[in-house]
A and B are shown apart, each in its own frame.
Chain A
Amino acid sequence: EVQLVQSGAEVKKPGESLKISCKGSGYSFTSYWIGWVRQMPGKGLEWMGIIYPGDSDTRYSPSFQGQVTISADKSISTAYLQWSSLKASDTAMYYCARLGCSGGSCYNYFDYWGQGTLVTVSS
């Protein structure tokens, strides 16, 4: 069974750093892209970026380029999303999700999702 298990909720102050995680299991972690999606309170879904754990090839949405860092440690089947200096506007639910494949090719839709990590940034 494919599973993506994310780290727990975080409460941080503005200016602090943070790294949240997403551990994959039940499939070949190095063979599928993993993406991160933000959902601000009461709002819709926003694509942040994707990483291919096999070689750490990473792509960012222009809206998030330079604001966050996406990484992965394939030895422990885990992807990460990190901030060096949080802002109140980073308060949101963050989801990791696997990009889907069909017919031997892979595409940029999300077929399995983590449960989400709630990040609250408040002074």
Chain B
Amino acid sequence: EIVLTQSPGTLSLSPGERATLSCRASQSVSSSYLAWYQQKPGQAPRLLIYGASSRATGIPDRFSGSGSGTDFTLTISRLEPEDFAVYYCQQYGSSPLTFGPGTKVDIK
């Protein structure tokens, strides 16, 4: 089973700042099968990025994903008020599918 570790656990930033979230895998994620989700309190997760760097339908271009192998990054170029949420990575290169523990982005 591939274990995903996300850092930091909490990121305290102000609107307009840049957010950089890390997701590290315990072994290489095949074909960069890595997705990112955003979850706000009381809501279902929302797909942001798949294939490590492809934005899902309707996702603003301030969200970008990068990385390969065992190290992946989600970048939010300029935080908007609606971006404060918890972000999860998920690998789908091997079974079982696994999620990281999440990074909370909160308002500084």
* Interface residues of A, Cβ cutoff 8 Å to B: 35, 37, 44-47, 59, 61-63, 95, 97, 100, 102, 107-116
Give complex CA distance A71, B48 in Å: 28
Q: List 22 A-B contacts (CB under 8 A).
A: A44-B88, A44-B101, A45-B45, A45-B90, A45-B99, A47-B98, A61-B97, A62-B96, A63-B96, A95-B44, A97-B45, A100-B47, A100-B50, A107-B50, A108-B92, A108-B97, A109-B47, A109-B90, A109-B92, A111-B57, A113-B46, A113-B47
A sample of 17 more A-B contacts (CB under 8 A), given A47-B96, A109-B33, is: A44-B88, A44-B102, A45-B102, A46-B99, A47-B98, A61-B95, A61-B96, A100-B56, A102-B54, A107-B92, A108-B92, A110-B35, A110-B90, A111-B47, A112-B47, A113-B44, A113-B47
Chain B's interface: helix, strand, loop or mixed, by majority? loop
Q: Are B33 and A108 in contact (CB under 8 A)?
A: yes
Give complex CA distance A13, B92 in Å: 35
Give complex CA distance A45, B46 in Å: 12
Give complex CA distance A70, B96 in Å: 16
Q: Are B44 and A114 in contact (CB under 8 A)?
A: yes
Q: Which chain A residue has the least Cβ–Cβ distance from B34?
A: A109
